[in-house]
Chains A and B, each alone.
Chain A
Amino acid sequence: MSNLRGVYTIWYRDILRFWRDRIRLIGAIFLPLLFLFVFGSGLSSRMAMFGSGVNFAQFMFPGIIGMTVLMSSFMAGVSVVWDREFGFLKEVLVAPISRASVAGGKTLGAATIALIQGAVILLFAPLVGVSLSPGTVFMLLPLMFLLAAAMGSFGVLLATRIRTIEAFQAVMQMLTFPMVFLSGVFFPLQGVPTWMSVLTKINPATYGIATIRQIVLGVPPDSPFGINLLGHTMSLWNNVALLAVFGTTMTLLAMQSFGSQD
């Protein structure tokens, strides 16, 4: 009970901060939209239609949703470093709530904010000719939240071990961009060189992006937009399970790491 309250309080503060600083939302969705419309418009005409009549902008749209969620939640760990640098973390660490609940609250806060940003991107679907039914959105939102929580806990884990904002941002950029580029946001993963194929399959984001794409475009897992892992075609639930396992592991590690710091 006390732990839940701790998680809730930490989560609530992060949401409150986000809400007081809503202008951040524009910054967070600007880059993904820029990619979507510049690459989407610029390349759509030059690239052949993918199977089932999907053009490049439509192909990229689900990837951009995933990218927005991923980048926002992953970077949200910076708030832990930020709080440490500006002293507020001390107030949190001497409070009668467990360190694990602090890590949990931070992860959920990051995931919630990322979900809101991803949901804003969904509103642009008609502009790229993607139609989303309420049922699709209903399936998408929990999936986006799962991806956000998984990446958010990874970010929080790193944040518990990195002391300065500058170092955290450097590490994050070194990880974020490879993770985005090698997850199938911008190009299909079919037929890429073997070394790249291996990297994409190690990348947990790949499974989130593929699932979002399959749901948004309504294509089956054994299409070119699916993932074949060691000869096995990953079903939608396979992907979800894999993300859940990754997210749970990262969350437990983050909780443990939070608990062991002074």
Chain B
Amino acid sequence: MNDYIIKVENLVKRFGQLVAVDNMSFSVAPGEIFGFLGPNGAGKTTTINILCTLSRPTSGHATVNNFDVVRQQSQVRQSIGLVFQDPSLDDRLSGLQNLRFHALVYHVPASVREQRIEQVLRMTELWDKRHSTVRTYSGGMKRRLELARGLLHYPKVLFLDEPTLGLDPQTRNRIWEYILELRQREGTTIFLTTHYMDEAEKADRIAIIDHGKLVAMDTPERLKKIVGKDIICLKTDDDKRAAEEIRLRYQIEARHNNNGLTFEVVNGEEFLPTFIKEFSTKILSVSLRSPSLDDVFLKLTGREIRDETADAFKAMFRRHGRGMRR
């Protein structure tokens, strides 16, 4: 027994030459919202698949709710709820029938079955549509139904693999309201993967993953302190000359990106007025912001997580494409 609801030790998963999960170790406390942040292909989904018994680790150990994910699969499965990255509903059945199926396979006692189904359907605002075939649901409704299903058996741990990928901001906010409400009421541990920064901010702790490795793990606030300084984004009529001037004047290396230059300074609010007064290159625009998790990722890996936006779109199209084939 231990105090952690999820415990991962030296986990490795290889696919031939590719090391998808590279010696990962971490623990998650009960009731925690734990986020996996990293670009697509970083090993987030592979780790989740191992934790939910869909895939076997090459080496290392993992326990969920004190059950071993290799030797006690059935107990692990009973302890967890899942919302997958790709849809996993029976779209020929109604929402209600999908939930009844789930309640049966997860042994939800008959005495509370219908009452709980109603509860999760009302929470996700699908009660009025419960008799409609899932095929007629919108993308957001399907996601909500999957979430409702994941909650139906009161899992100890809810795994959310990119729970709001490809959804509009309004639906994303709604889904987050449900997740936070659930944690409040049931003390459910939530393990999520995402590459939306604002979503990762909602986690109690974040593990930053890159190339199958755990790069950093802490609260969002403390992770942002790694960057420490404020970030200034600058557009000028000659970025090259501006970068040179910044180097000479302040001994700071500015980075080029699609929107101009960015660099980090201590106490940005005080720095900015004098900077604008003194700077000789013509400034088109300037902005100041506190560090985001994006900047943390950039600092730790030298790459931007946002590079993956294109992939997110691809994933979205793939999902919709699949829906349409039927």
A residues bordering B, Cβ < 8 Å?
Answer: 2, 5-6, 8-9, 12-13, 16-17, 20-21, 83, 86-98, 262
Question: Which 5 A/B pairs are nearest by Cβ-Cβ distance?
Answer: A96-B77, A87-B88, A95-B105, A96-B78, A9-B104
A16–B100 alpha-carbon span in the complex (Å): 12
B58 CB to closest chain A CB (Å) equals 13
Instruction: Report yes or no: A88 in contact with B89, Cβ–Cβ below 8 A.
Output: yes
**B84: nearest residue on chain A (CB-CB)?**
A90
Known contacts A5-B107, A94-B52, A94-B53; A13/B74 CB under 8 A? no
Q: Does B71 contact A (CB under 8 A)?
A: no
Once bound together, how far apart are the Cα atoms of A108 and B149, in whole Å? 26
Given contacts A13-B93, A17-B93, contact A91 B88 (CB under 8 A): yes
**Smallest distance from the beta carbon of B36 to chain A beta carbons, Å?**
18
Closest beta carbon of chain B to A21's beta carbon, Å = 7
Contacts of A97 in B (CB 8 A): 105
Q: Are A21 and B54 in contact (CB under 8 A)?
A: no
- Expressed in whole angstroms, the minimum distance between the Cβ of A163 and any Cβ of chain B is 15
Can you name 11 A-B residue pairings with CB atoms under 8 Å?
A: A16-B97, A17-B92, A17-B93, A20-B133, A86-B91, A87-B88, A90-B54, A94-B53, A95-B105, A97-B105, A262-B54
A262 to B84, CA, bound (A): 16
Closest residue of B by beta carbon distance from A13: B101
B322 at the interface (CB under 8 A from A): yes
Distance between Cα atoms of A88 and B149 in the complex (Å): 13
Given A86-B326, A262-B54, the answer on whether A96 and B90 have CB atoms closer than 8 Å is: no
Question: Complex Cα distance A12/B102, Å?
Answer: 12
Whether A87 and B93, one on each chain, are in contact in the complex, defined by CB atoms closer than 8 angstroms, is no
Any chain A CB within 8 A of the CB of B82?
yes
Closest CB in chain B relative to A168 CB, distance in Å:
16
Residue of B75, B88, B89, B104 touching A5 (CB-CB under 8 A):
B104
Of B54, B87, B91, the contact of A94 (CB 8 Å cutoff): B54
Could you say which residues of chain B place their CB within 8 Å of the CB of A83? 90
Q: B77 is contacted by which of A8, A20, A89, A95 (Cβ under 8 Å)?
A: A95
A90 near B88: Cβ-Cβ < 8 Å: yes
Chain A, residue nearest B82 (CB): A94
Q: How far is the CA of A97 from the CA of B87 in the complex (A)?
A: 20
Chain B residue contacts of A262, Cβ below 8 A = 54-56
Are A9 and B101 interface neighbours, CB within 8 A? Answer: yes
Query: A98 to chain B: which residues have CB within 8 Å?
Result: 74
Residues of A within 8 A of B89 (CB): 87-88, 91
The answer for the CA separation of A210 and B53 in the assembled complex, in Å, is: 46
- B204 on interface, CB distance cutoff 8 Å: no
A5, A6, A21, A97, most chain B CB atoms within 10 A: A97
State the CA gap A90–B48 with chains docked (Å).
13
Closest to B326 in A: A86
Least CB separation from A88: chain B residue: B90
Contact assessment for B97 and A96 in the assembled complex, using a CB-CB cutoff below 8 Å: no
- Smallest CB separation, B160 vs chain A (Å): 14
Q: Is the CB of A87 within 8 A of B105?
A: no
CA distance A87 to B149 in the complex (A): 15
